[in-house]
Amino acid sequence: DIVMTQSPSSLSVSAGEKVTMSCKSSQSLLNSGNQKNYLAWYQQKPGQPPKLLIYGASTRESGVPDRFTGSGSGTDFTLTISSVQAEDLAVYYCQNDHSYPFTFGSGTKLEIK
Amino acid sequence: QVTLKESGPGILKPSQTLSLTCSFSGFSLSTSGMGVGWIRQPSGKGLEWLAHIWWDDDKYYNPSLKSQLTISKDTSRNQVFLKITSVDTADTATYYCARRAGGRYDYWGQGTTLTVSS
């Protein structure tokens, strides 16, 4: 199984600040055939199901604010929130979308000061 | 409009069999490229991918649970089912189903909670 490692486990920032969080996979998520990275990011707010933010490592899902940006390739990926808003309070998960089982990272909890 | 809704028994005793149903609308599992997966989440913990079924009935399971899991579908009724045999307290969780299209799980249900207790 591909192991997904997220860091930090939690972070606390003030509204308006820039945030970056990391996700590393134990194997490459790059499909050599089409050169696409199969990595997704989800946001889970308290009491809600996960919501897809980013897929293909960097493609924003329809309706997701452009302050959310995914980047990276191979085994190292980053989710950046350019200017954190109060409503971004959530746990953020990355997911291996490359090969079964589609494993998840343990999450990064974002708190707003 | 795509929607998914999970349903289940709510509470089971250890060693019983869990039967979950995902009822969906807004898409068809007879459409090429469509799939539905099951993911669970113990309270206060992370997400665990369980199983997935494709439009062509291809199925995939989490190896750590494979012997306990069976996924199936009824395309005509727009439903996907997950069966987990011999549950124990570690299976207490919220169970989600999600649609997979275009290489991602883009729509999720609200989840159904299961408590396993003697």
pLDDT in tens, A69-106: 999 999 999 999 999 999 999 999 999 999 999 999 99
pLDDT given at position A9: 97
B10-21 pLDDT, tens digit per residue, is 999 999 999 999
Interface size, chain A vs chain B, as Cβ–Cβ contacts under 8 Å: 57
Residues of chain A neighbouring B37 (CB-CB closer than 8 A): 102
- The pLDDT score that the predictor gives to residue B66 is 85
Which CB contacts under 8 angstroms, 24+ apart, belong to B61-68?
B61/A101, B62/A101, B63/A1, B63/A101, B64/A1, B64/A101
Determine the number of helices (DSSP H) and then strands (DSSP E) in chain B. 0, 11
**pLDDT given for residue B95 in this prediction:** 98
pLDDT at A112: 92
Report the distance separating Cα B74 and Cα B15, nearest Å.
26
Tell me if A104 and B103 make a contact (CB, 8 A cut-off). Answer: no
A97 in reach of chain B (CB within 8 A): yes
To test the contact with chain B by mutation, choose from A6, A38, A100, A103 the residue with the greatest count of B C-beta atoms within 10 A, namely A100
The pair of structure tokens assigned to A108 is: 């990064």
